[in-house]
Amino acid sequence: MNDIKAMSFEEAMAALERVVRDLESGQVSLDQSIALYEQGAALKAQCETLLRAAEERVEKITLNEAGQPAGTTPLEGL
């Protein structure tokens, strides 16, 4: 499950589609299908978590005297 939490959206989505295909193929035992379902549910949750984190933040780099990035300030009005 921790592995799933570390997955990118693309990885999680691919894994989820694989699980669904396996389940739909009907080639798995009943025990396996339960395990696959739980795995699929976790993958779906991960996908939704990643998709929910769709917050927009627009910032601008602020540079110090040496021209190095010192931080960011919100970039308003766009």
Residues within the interface to other proteins (CB under 8 A): 8-10, 13, 16-17, 19-20, 23-24, 26, 28, 30, 33-34, 36-37, 40-41, 44, 47-48, 50-51, 54-61, 67-72, 75, 78
**Least distance in angstroms from the C-beta of 3 to other proteins:** 18
**Least distance in angstroms from the C-beta of 1 to other proteins:** 16
CA distances, 45 to each of 5, 7, 20, 69, 71 (Å): 9, 11, 14, 36, 33
**Least distance in angstroms from the C-beta of 17 to other proteins:** 6
H/E segment holding residue 6: none
23: left (phi over 0), alpha (psi -120 to 50) or beta: alpha
